[in-house]
Amino acid sequence: MISSLQCWGGYPSNLELLIDEVNEGRLNISPVLIMTGGEYLSDDLRKRLAETFNCYVQTSYSCTEGGTVACECTNQHFHINDDWLIVEPVDKDGNPVADGVLSDKIYLTNLYNYTQPFIRYEVTDRVIMHHEDCGCGNPSPWIELEGRTDDVTSFIEDGKIIKIPPLAVYATLKEIHSLRRFQVLVYNQNKVELRIETKDGEDRTKAFEEAKTALKDYLAVQGIHSLSITLADSLPQQDENSGKFKHIVNMQNTK
């Protein structure tokens, strides 16, 4: 059994898995703060984490090229670290977007990375910029962030349910360099469908076989051996209702 810690941090989808560990009595920690990042933190998950661990839960917005871009205040506004970087919300054509309007992406300029400068680096996160005062007292501009919303998926092996965090699957498939874009759909009975878009000049069948092998190898390490992975006819696509793009999509009718 794991002993108490003062602070706990991680991706929301990974932290969600710890709720089951606590409920099953396999985890005993008492953090005073949970800090999340890397994915969208839903109100529902924030509430469940706070109730399970009896502590405050907050999140931040970060990326490799900019470090911690913005930190969440007690009003759940993401205040930009404007002494560290410049954030420019733009539309799909790169034109500036006004305050209060949802952007298609942002341009990010890192002011402190002298070794490898990032100047107006394109990041495909959609944000709404605000410059009005925030009740927390922080004078820095703040953003509303759409963020990534990939799903936690589950598989069954020998009657045991094994839940898989989405970023682990994403990290496995992003190493397949013949892929331009991919989408993993997980159905009941351990059925997986891959939607892939290959880079120019890459063979689609060969790229699928590479992705299939990598995914099977990763899931085998997690104890999942009985599964089928097929290639979809369609390309990766956005959700028709929300317009959001998910790399990992739970198509199961039960969780």
Question: pLDDT-based confidence at 83, cuts 50/70/90?
Answer: very high
Instruction: Provide the 3-class DSSP secondary structure of residue 34.
Output: strand
CB 30 within 8 A of CB 159: no
Split at pLDDT 50, 70, 90, the class of 254 is very low
Examine the pLDDT at 182 and tell me if it is beyond 80: yes
Rg over CA atoms, the chain: 20
SS3 assignment, position 185: strand
Instruction: State the pLDDT at residue 1.
Output: 40
pLDDT band at 4 (very low <50, low <70, confident <90, very high): very low
pTM of the model: 0.60
CA atoms within 13 A on the CB side of 65: 15
Nearest Cα to 32, choosing from 64, 54, 62?
A: 54
pLDDT at 241: 56
| Helix ranges (DSSP H) in the chain | 12-23, 43-53, 166-173, 204-221
Look at strands 142-145 and 153-157 and give their pairing. unpaired
CATH 3.30.365.10: does it fit domain 153-250?
no
Strands (E), the chain: 7-10, 33-36, 56-63, 67-72, 78-80, 85-90, 105-110, 121-123, 127-130, 142-145, 153-157, 160-164, 179-187, 191-198, 228-231, 248-250
Q: How confident is the model over 8-36, as pLDDT tens digits?
A: 788 888 888 888 889 888 888 888 899 88
- In this predicted structure, the answer to whether residue 144 has a pLDDT above a threshold of 80 is yes
Q: What is the DSSP string of 1-28?
A: -B---SEEEE-HHHHHHHHHHHHTTSB-
Query: CA-to-CA distance for 141 and 132, rounded, in angstroms?
Result: 7
Label residue 34 exposed, middle or buried (CB < 10 Å: 0-12, 13-18, 19+): buried
Beta bridge pairs of residue 88: 107
So where are the chain's domains? 7-60, 64-145, 153-250
